[in-house]
Amino acid sequence: MRQIGVVMQDNVVIQVDNVNKRFKTYETKGRGIVASLFRKQYFKKALTNVSFSVKGGELAALLGRNGSGKSTMIKILMGILFPDSGRARVLGMDPWKDRIKLASQIGVVLGAHSQLYWNLPAIDTFEFMRHIHHIPESMFRKRLKYFVKALNLEKVYKRQARQLSLGEQMKCNFVASVLHAPRIVFLDEPTIGVDLPSKLALRKVILEMQSQGTTFVLTTHIVEDIMIAQRVIILDKGRKMFDGKREELEKLFGDKRHVDIFFTPGSRINFSRFGRILNSENGFVRLEIEKEGIKSKKFMELLGNDDILDYKITDPGMNYVLSKLFKSYDRRKANKEMD
């Protein structure tokens, strides 16, 4: 990839210190106008003492279940919301107070919200962004040529936005958000509705931009997107529950493997000797086994048993790890409340 105007940053570009945010909401009992007159007001906590930092050039994934506070956190970093207490700094600026100045140095890709003008071709939106961000025309043409080729938009970007598929809109929306070579890009579900080849192309462009020094903060529910992140920050119910390298998260519950074994129905093999049984039917069992256990002599002897018809070993992946993490967190919280 050609240099597109970004300089590698070694310093901290996002700093969040003990940020708290709550929202006023109402609860009514009953139905109708009369019930609404006697509604009860209360405050719902969205973020509680959240702290983290992101260095220039990092690709960090901000994860969490629905209602975890990740969207609120992103909006604070973008300057749309301000914290009730604590401090957030992006590129050394207060996102809320310096939002106009900050806007020229960040890019935002919101999967559910398009920047494209419905009845205009995407190229018109790109030209509009060129004028907003005062991008020199020669630099604009250079960047546009790269993105159009990298994302296979040659037959797309001159058509009206309303004629584009969801995936094509997403790719054009991404281009509109990064043409000005922002130092930080916030990605919210960037590959939603995008086909597999386009997803791979988008991830490749993101990694190439990162190699040039662009910082990315990614929120997504698509596990394949998470796998390009080197850093993972997980929020749950407004609190930070994990912050570290992706590899550390994957090893949090041990290096497990799932083994599907098909065997002769009626066989008396005691599969629990080899690992935890996740699923069992007549002629089929799924085991959870430590990675090292798969190499053991005992397990090799099992696979050599005449009653074993076939088997398959898989890596349970990030979905499994996140599921275990949330279950563990819920269990600890429930025990704490009982105490």
Condensed to tens digits (0 to 9), the pLDDT of residues 205-233 reads 999 999 999 999 998 877 777 888 889 99
Question: CA-based Rg of the chain, rounded to a whole angstrom?
Answer: 25
Q: Is residue 336 part of a domain?
A: no
CATH code, 264: 3.30.70.250
Confidence of residue 199 (pLDDT cuts 50, 70, 90): confident
- The predicted pLDDT at position 291 comes to 78
Do 289 and 244 lie in one domain? The reply is no
* Cα–Cα distance for residue pair 82/327, rounded to 1 Å: 31
Q: Is residue 324 part of a domain?
A: no
Q: Is residue 3 part of a domain?
A: no
Do 169 and 283 lie in one domain? The reply is no
Q: Is residue 295 part of a domain?
A: yes
Q: Is residue 35 part of a domain?
A: no
CATH code, 231: 3.40.50.300
Q: Please indicate whether residue 232 or residue 330 has the higher confidence score (pLDDT).
A: 232
* Cα–Cα distance for residue pair 227/67, rounded to 1 Å: 22
**Domain stop point among 235, 250, 265:** 250
State the pTM of this model: 0.76
Do 167 and 307 lie in one domain? The reply is no
Confidence of residue 58 (pLDDT cuts 50, 70, 90): very high
Q: Is residue 216 part of a domain?
A: yes
* Cα–Cα distance for residue pair 321/333, rounded to 1 Å: 18
Do 78 and 187 lie in one domain? The reply is yes
DSSP single-letter state for residue 2: -
How many domains would you assign to the chain?
2
Do 221 and 274 lie in one domain? The reply is no
Rounded to an integer, the average pLDDT of 69-96 is 94
**Domain stop point among 250, 284, 304:** 250
Do 209 and 240 lie in one domain? The reply is yes
Q: Please indicate whether residue 139 or residue 313 has the higher confidence score (pLDDT).
A: 139
- The closest of 87, 95, 58 to 232, measured between CA atoms, is 58
Do 70 and 150 lie in one domain? The reply is yes
- The closest of 219, 228, 159, 210 to 187, measured between CA atoms, is 219
Condensed to tens digits (0 to 9), the pLDDT of residues 105-145 reads 999 988 767 888 989 999 999 999 999 999 999 999 999 99
Do 293 and 244 lie in one domain? The reply is no
* Cα–Cα distance for residue pair 325/251, rounded to 1 Å: 11
**Do 88 and 77 meet the contact criterion of CB atoms below 8 Å apart?**
yes
Long-range contacts of 79-85 (CB under 8 A, 24+ apart): 79/103, 81/21, 83/19, 83/20, 83/21, 83/47, 84/20, 84/21, 84/22, 85/18, 85/19, 85/20
Give residue 101's domain range. Answer: 12-16+53-250
* Cα–Cα distance for residue pair 290/202, rounded to 1 Å: 34
Rounded to an integer, the average pLDDT of 286-312 is 87
Do 231 and 309 lie in one domain? The reply is no
Do 192 and 296 lie in one domain? The reply is no
Burial class (CB in 10 A: 0-12, 13-18, 19+), 146: middle
